[in-house]
Structure 1
Amino acid sequence: MQGTVEDFEFGAVTPAASFLVACVGSALGLRCIVRSLNNRQSWKPGWLALGAATIGCGIWTMHFTAMVGFRIQGIPIDYDPGLVSLSLVVAIVAVGLGVFTVGYRGATPATLTAAGILTGLAVVGTHYTGMAAIELNGSLEHDSLTVSASVLLAVAAATAALRTAASRRGFPATLGACLLMGVAMTGAHYTGMAAVGVQLRGATDASYTTGLYGDGSPASILLPMLIGPVVFLILAGVVVMFDPQLVLGDGEWSRSSPRRHRGTAVAPERPAHAPPAASLFGPREQQPGRHARTTADHGTGATTGGVRPGTGPRGR
Structure 2
Amino acid sequence: MQGTIDGFSYGLVTPVVAYLMACLGGALGLRCTTRSMLVAQSWRPGWLALGSAAIGSGIWTMHFIAMMGFTVAEAPIHYDRTTTYASLGVAVVMVGIGIFIVGYKGARGAALFTGGTITGLGVASMHYLGMAGMRLDGRLQYNTFTVAASVVIAMAAATAALWAAGQVRGFAWSVGASLVMGLAVSGMHYTGMAALSVHLHGTAASGTGESPAALLAPMLIGPLAFLCLAGVVVLFDPLVVMGRTHWPRVEQKPGVPARTPAEPAARRSTRRPMSTRGPQSR
TM-score by length of 2: 0.85
From 231, 248, 263, the counterpart of 1:255: 263
Distance 1:10 1:37 in 2: 41
- Unaligned stretches of 5+ in structure 1? 210-215, 267-316
User: Corresponding residue for 1:278?
Assistant: none
The Cα of 1:104 is off from its aligned counterpart by: 2.1
Structure whose CA Rg is larger: 1
CA contact (8 A) 2:102 2:166 kept: no
* Structure 2 CA distance for partners of 1:41 and 1:167, relative to 1, 3 Å: closer
The Cα of 1:257 is off from its aligned counterpart by: 2.3
What SS does the corresponding residue of 1:207 show, helix, strand or coil?
A: coil
Matches of residues 84-233 of structure 1 in structure 2 within 5 Å?
A: 84-167=84-167, 169-209=169-209, 216-233=210-227
Distance 1:203 1:106 in 2: 54
- Unaligned stretches of 5+ in structure 2? 242-258, 276-282
* Structure 2 CA distance for partners of 1:72 and 1:85, relative to 1, 3 Å: same
Matched AA of 2:74 = G
What SS does the corresponding residue of 2:207 show, helix, strand or coil?
A: coil
CA contact (8 A) 1:36 1:42 kept: no
User: Corresponding residue for 1:52?
Assistant: 52
CA contact (8 A) 1:74 1:208 kept: no
Q: What is the count of residue pairs matched by the alignment?
A: 258
From 225, 231, 235, the counterpart of 1:237: 231
The Cα of 1:177 is off from its aligned counterpart by: 0.9
Matches of residues 279-294 of structure 1 in structure 2 within 5 Å?
A: none
CA contact (8 A) 1:68 1:219 kept: yes
* Structure 2 CA distance for partners of 1:201 and 1:41, relative to 1, 3 Å: closer
Distance 2:170 2:240 in 1: 20
What SS does the corresponding residue of 1:205 show, helix, strand or coil?
A: coil
Q: Deviations over 1:93-131 (max 9, x none)?
A: 101111111222223321111111111111100000000
Distance 2:42 2:34 in 1: 11
When structure 1 is superposed on structure 2, of 150-159 and 34-43 the one drifting more is: 34-43
Q: Deviations over 1:50-96 (max 9, x none)?
A: 11111111111111010010010031110011100110011011011
* Structure 2 CA distance for partners of 1:246 and 1:27, relative to 1, 3 Å: closer
The Cα of 1:40 is off from its aligned counterpart by: 1.2
Matched AA of 2:120 = G
